Structure 1
């Protein structure tokens, strides 16, 4: 069982990822075909399981990172087509800007940083969740 504040954090972060997923679907969803086994957007109850994109936050202890522990934002494209690396970077850059706004709106009291850790977007900083 998790602390209620941890559950609240996870719920808000999931909602942010779902909103970004939806925005990506609207912006890029028609540019690539889905993998044959992937349901169309909106066919499941969880946006991670359908449509072209799967956006999720994954906790990392950050052992080999200068930023330390935090949450990596994984953006998976569910297509068998080759995606131009320039388009992949464009998506990452746009998600970074959007994520910064979403995090600031959802967690205004937190001192959080959002940026790249290697080639992935990462959230780090005050992850204490306000309890001892």
Structure 2
């Protein structure tokens, strides 16, 4: 499947940003809960998204039915069997959104991107233009 070269570069940069978010969350909260028994411990894989307590990623949505339109949903999973209170998960989501917001200018200085609340999720919206190949 063909993928626009600039889209591939954008998503690679976005992946690097989310790897940094994962590291910050793991550093701060990685010992708060036990990691799911079927999940590798932090640092055991080459991809921070695939190990440790947190799985943080960006999932594109065309924004159908959303007041905010298209963008990248900030997806957060806490990989544990421990009981996680809804308030604790909400706190993790807010902190994740704040970290993403603080890192966007460093990873994408040439773009106007922002983090907004869209229903019960956070989303990155703004300039996703790719120009010409």
Q: TM-score of the superposition, structure 2-length normalised?
A: 0.93
Q: How many Å separate the matches in 1 of 2:45 and 2:119?
A: 32
Runs of 5+ in structure 1 lacking a partner?
A: none
Cα distance in 2 for partners of 1:130, 1:18 equals: 26
Q: RMSD value over aligned CA atoms?
A: 1.3
Q: SS of 1:56's equivalent?
A: strand
Question: Partners in 2 of 1:59 and 1:95 — Cα distance?
Answer: 17
Q: Which residue of the partner structure matches residue 84 of structure 2? A: 83
| Structure-1 separation of matches of 2:82 and 2:66 | 31
For the residues of structure 1 that align with 2:17 and 2:127, how far apart are their CA atoms? Answer: 18
After TM superposition, the score normalised by the length of structure 1 is 0.94
| Deviation, structure 1 residue 61 | 0.8
Alignment-derived partner of residue 56 in structure 1: 57
CA distance in 2, matches of 1:30, 1:118: 29
Residue segments in structure 2 that go unaligned for 5+ positions in a row? none
**Post-superposition CA distance 1:61-100 (Å, at most 9, x none):** 1101011111001010000111122221221221122111
2:113 maps to 112
Aligned length: 132
Distance (Å, rounded) in 2 between the aligned partners of 1:22 and 1:130: 32
Distance 1:60 1:47 in 2: 23
1:15-94 matches, cutoff 5 A: 15-94=16-95
Q: Which residue of 2 aligns with 1:97?
A: 98
How far apart in 1 are the matches of 2:98 and 2:39? Answer: 28
Question: Counterparts of 2:114 and 2:44 in 1: how far apart (Å)?
Answer: 34
